């Protein structure tokens, strides 16, 4: 169940990134002086890496 | 700077010799030589994977990408790497399960064994050869530019390329994959150290984060948003890049092999998130270097910008460290890719172990010569050439994914991959257009591969029993 949730979150994160987050022509809102595309890009990359860590912990299969 | 250069090179060479000696073993089998005994732990595995993935292209191509096309370059590489490391969780498991059942000498051989036809292996090998050659040549081209700028008139571009390839061949010949893995670890740490030192220096020179972005907003605001000043980073381009980069561990044999030679699945999963963290850490300073270039050298040619930002603008010890770091990056990545092509050739050959190894070593030599020639004639668009390489090898995804999912995979996907490879090759040499209307060719090909593979797999799974737990959502 946890694995399925993690996969769903990773899929949502990726689809939302290209669907609604990475919008052309936008510089603001800024965060720590970083333009919008850069800070959202860093944030979403960090989320995916965190989900990778959690996915590794809750991966449902084991090697024989 | 010469004194510092000699000192750092001496340390680097000493580390390489130590790694070779540690790896060298008399009477080793071809599996020990080519697959490092398949016992690589998490830390070494993560460093070798990161080093094979991030190279001269990251060191030189990414700052130039940020300088010319703006902050969207983060999505192009770092975000795509985030998706890729997550995908490794499932793919690593399926791949290792398959290799345990079928054995592993190389991806081409594995494909032949899984599909029950050598054609699956041949198609994979041809794709790897055609599209890894430009990627390997990028590394050599990158370091040649840099060395020529560092020590002008000592050797030509071509001369530096020959020196690199000779060192690489000697090194691979002595130590095999194990030595390459050790040198990768040295390279990955060196790359991270050097790129951060230069990144911080560049950020200080432009007055810190706030001043840098304020300055760019006044002079070239298009650099701070999508699609960038030249319109490169469209959503379509970025989606295409993400798909191609996510498929790198699936379709680029030097990385696929690293997933197989890891000690166990736990090590693969730990390696995946460690590579994700490494990606963020190594790409972040390239933003600073690139934006420094956008402020200081907006109109400079690529080699002039790289030489200035990484070399002439730096204090002597940092510049010397950058030369050695880049040399190490180039050497280990080139090594990994050429060696992977050798492994692929070996996995397709049959016969006595010593005869197969003789052909493999000769094959590695031939690949090196081809790469050398290519590196002399290629352009300076390092990041775009890297992307082309990723796109080309991504056409092999249907073959590899069906091979790891199905007990007896449908042979029709070999045709799908082969046709896609032909189309992207013809587009690369200019016979076919790279765009159809407003749609990029790579997006059309990914759509074609996805739909046709799903259709073939759906039809096939009704006939043949699917390997249990092929669904990544199974728990």
Q: State pLDDT tens for residues B79-130.
A: 999 999 999 999 999 999 999 999 888 999 999 999 999 999 999 999 998 8
Question: Is the minimum CB–CB distance between A22 and chain B shorter than 8 Å?
Answer: yes
Judge whether residue B33 has pLDDT over 70: no
- The partner residues of B435 in beta bridges, in order of sequence, read B440
| Nearest CA-CA partner of B404 in B293, B262, B244, B256 | B256
Comparing CB atoms, the residue among B213, B225, B273 nearest residue A53 is: B273
How would residue B25 be classed by pLDDT, with cut points 50, 70 and 90? low
Number of H-type helices and E-type strands within chain B: 22, 2
CB distance B225–A37 less than 8 Å?
Answer: yes
Comparing CB atoms, the residue among B214, B217, B273 nearest residue A52 is: B273
Longest dimension (CA), chain B: 69
Tell which wins on pLDDT, B207 or B353.
B207
Tokens of B448: 């074609």
Judge whether residue A51 has pLDDT over 80: yes
Kindly identify which residue of chain B lies nearest to residue A55, measuring between CA atoms. B89
| B103-121 as b/e: b if 16+ CB within 10 A | ebbbbbbbbbbbbeebebb
| Nearest CA-CA partner of B51 in B192, B177, B247 | B192
Residue B155 is classified by DSSP as S
How much is the pLDDT for B24? 67
Tokens of B173: 């010949």
Q: How would you write B30-54 as a 3-class SS string?
A: HHHHHHHHHCECHHHHHHHHHHHHC
Q: Which helix (H) or strand (E) holds B296?
A: helix B265-296
| Nearest CA-CA partner of A10 in B473, B284, B92 | B473
| Nearest CA-CA partner of B131 in B439, B310, B394, B399 | B394
Which residues of chain B does A52 touch, with a Cβ-Cβ cutoff of 8 Å?
Answer: 82, 85-86, 88-89, 272-273, 276
- Predicted structure pTM score: 0.89
Which residues of chain A does B214 touch, with a Cβ-Cβ cutoff of 8 Å?
Answer: 33
Which residues of chain B does A41 touch, with a Cβ-Cβ cutoff of 8 Å?
Answer: 71, 74-75, 78-79
Beta strands B439-440 and B435-436 are: antiparallel
pLDDT tens digits, one per residue of B420-452: 999 999 998 889 998 888 899 999 999 999 999
Question: Is the minimum CB–CB distance between A33 and chain B shorter than 8 Å?
Answer: yes
Comparing CB atoms, the residue among A35, A42, A59 nearest residue B213 is: A35
Question: Is the minimum CB–CB distance between A59 and chain B shorter than 8 Å?
Answer: yes
How much is the pLDDT for B59? 82
Tell which wins on pLDDT, B20 or B220.
B220
CB distance B221–A27 less than 8 Å?
Answer: yes
CA distance to partner chain B, nearest, from residue A1 (Å): 7
Q: Work out the average pLDDT over B222-227.
A: 95
| Nearest CA-CA partner of B132 in B342, B325, B401, B419 | B342
Comparing CB atoms, the residue among B89, B224, B280 nearest residue A55 is: B89
The 10 Å Cβ neighbour count of residue A18 is: 15
CB distance A35–B242 less than 8 Å?
Answer: no
- Among the residue ranges A9-13, B178-182, B302-306, the one predicted with the least confidence is B178-182
Q: Work out the average pLDDT over B357-380.
A: 79
CB distance A10–B86 less than 8 Å?
Answer: yes
Residue B440 is classified by DSSP as E
Q: Within its chain, how far is the Cα of B130 from the centroid?
A: 14
Comparing CB atoms, the residue among A18, A33, A47 nearest residue B213 is: A33
CA distance to partner chain A, nearest, from residue B266 (Å): 8
| Nearest CA-CA partner of B253 in B34, B20, B55, B470 | B34
Q: Is the ipTM of this complex over 0.90?
A: yes
Report phi then psi at B300, rounded to 5: -70, 155
Which residues of chain A does B474 touch, with a Cβ-Cβ cutoff of 8 Å?
Answer: 60-61
**Residues 6+ away with beta carbon under 8 Å from B334:** B136, B139, B140, B164, B165, B168, B371
Tokens of B312: 């002439």
Judge whether residue B330 has pLDDT over 90: no
Comparing CB atoms, the residue among A1, A33, A38 nearest residue B71 is: A38
- Give how far Cα B474 sits from Cα of B303, B407, B453, Å: 50, 17, 21
- The partner residues of B436 in beta bridges, in order of sequence, read B439
Residue B222 is classified by DSSP as G
- The partner residues of A34 in beta bridges, in order of sequence, read A31
Question: Is the minimum CB–CB distance between A53 and chain B shorter than 8 Å?
Answer: yes
How much is the pLDDT for B189? 87
Q: Which helix (H) or strand (E) holds B439?
A: strand B439-440
Report the C-alpha gap between B256 and B397 in whole angstroms.
Answer: 12
Judge whether residue A1 has pLDDT over 70: yes
Report the C-alpha gap between B475 and B471 in whole angstroms.
Answer: 9
Integer-rounded Cα Rg, in Å, for chain A is 15
pLDDT tens digits, one per residue of B41-80: 888 888 889 888 887 778 888 999 999 999 999 999 999 9
Q: In chain A, what is the straight-line distance between the N-terminal and C-terminal CA atoms, in Å?
A: 22
CA distance to partner chain A, nearest, from residue B315 (Å): 28
Q: Give the SS3 label for residue B430.
A: coil
Judge whether residue B475 has pLDDT over 50: no
Kindly identify which residue of chain A lies nearest to residue B268, measuring between CA atoms. A56
Contact call for residues B457 and B402 (beta carbons, < 8 A): yes
Q: Within its chain, how far is the Cα of B369 from the centroid?
A: 19
Q: Work out the average pLDDT over B303-320.
A: 89
User: Is the N-terminal amide bond of B60 cis, ω within 30° of 0?
Assistant: no
């Amino acid at each position: 169940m946890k694995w399925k949730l993690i996969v769903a979150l990773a899929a949502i994160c990726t689809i939302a990134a290209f669907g609604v987050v990475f919008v052309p022509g936008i510089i603001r809102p800024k965060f720590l002086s970083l333009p919008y595309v850069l800070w959202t890009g860093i944030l979403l990359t960090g989320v995916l890496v965190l989900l990778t860590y959690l996915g590794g912990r809750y991966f449902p299969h084991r090697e024989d | 700077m010469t004194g510092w250069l000699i000192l750092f090179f001496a340390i680097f060479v000493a580390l390489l010799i130590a790694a070779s000696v540690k790896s060298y073993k008399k009477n080793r089998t071809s599996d020990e030589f080519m697959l490092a005994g398949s016992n690589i732990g998490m830390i070494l595995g993560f460093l070798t994977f990161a080093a094979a993935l991030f190279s001269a292209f990251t060191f030189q191509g990414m700052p130039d990408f940020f300088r010319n096309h703006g902050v969207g370059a983060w999505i192009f590489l770092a975000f795509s790497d985030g998706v890729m490391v997550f995908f490794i969780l499932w793919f690593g498991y399926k791949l290792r399960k398959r290799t345990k059942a079928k054995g592993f000498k190389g991806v081409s051989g594995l494909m032949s064994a899984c599909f029950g036809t050598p054609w699956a292996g041949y198609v994979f090998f041809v794709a790897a050869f055609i599209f890894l050659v430009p990627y390997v040549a990028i590394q050599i081209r990158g370091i040649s530019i840099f060395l020529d700028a560092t020590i002008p008139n000592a050797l030509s571009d071509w001369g530096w390329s020959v020196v690199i390839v000779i060192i690489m061949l000697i090194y691979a010949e002595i130590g095999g994959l194990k030595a390459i893995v050790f040198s990768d670890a040295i390279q990955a740490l060196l790359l991270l150290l050097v790129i951060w030192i230069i990144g911080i220096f560049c950020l200080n020179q432009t007055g810190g984060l706030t001043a840098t972005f304020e300055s760019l907003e006044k002079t070239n605001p298009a650099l701070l948003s999508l699609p960038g000043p030249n319109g490169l980073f469209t959503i379509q381009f970025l989606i295409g890049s993400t798909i191609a980069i996510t498929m790198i561990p699936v379709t680029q044999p030097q990385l696929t092999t690293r997933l197989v030679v890891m000690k166990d699945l736990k090590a693969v999963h730990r390696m995946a998130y460690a590579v994700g963290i490494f990606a963020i850490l190594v790409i972040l300073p390239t933003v600073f270097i690139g934006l420094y270039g956008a402020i200081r050298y907006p109109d400079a040619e690529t080699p002039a910008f790289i030489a200035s930002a990484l070399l002439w603008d730096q204090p002597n010890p940092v510049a010397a460290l950058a030369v050695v770091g880049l040399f190490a990056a180039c050497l280990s990545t080139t090594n990994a890719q050429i060696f992977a092509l050798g492994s692929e050739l070996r996995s397709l050959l049959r016969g006595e172990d010593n005869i197969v190894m003789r052909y493999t070593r000769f094959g590695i030599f031939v690949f090196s010569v081809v790469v050398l020639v290519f590196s002399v004639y290629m352009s300076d668009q390092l990041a775009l050439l890297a992307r082309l390489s990723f796109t080309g090898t991504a056409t092999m995804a249907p073959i590899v994914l069906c091979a790891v999912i199905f007990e007896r995979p449908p042979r029709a996907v070999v045709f799908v991959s082969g046709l896609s490879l032909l189309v992207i090759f013809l587009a690369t040499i200019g016979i076919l257009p790279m765009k159809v209307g407003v749609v990029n060719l790579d997006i059309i090909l990914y759509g074609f591969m996805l739909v046709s593979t799903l259709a073939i797999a759906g039809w096939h799974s009704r006939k043949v029993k699917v390997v249990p737990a092929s669904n990544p959502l199974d728990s």
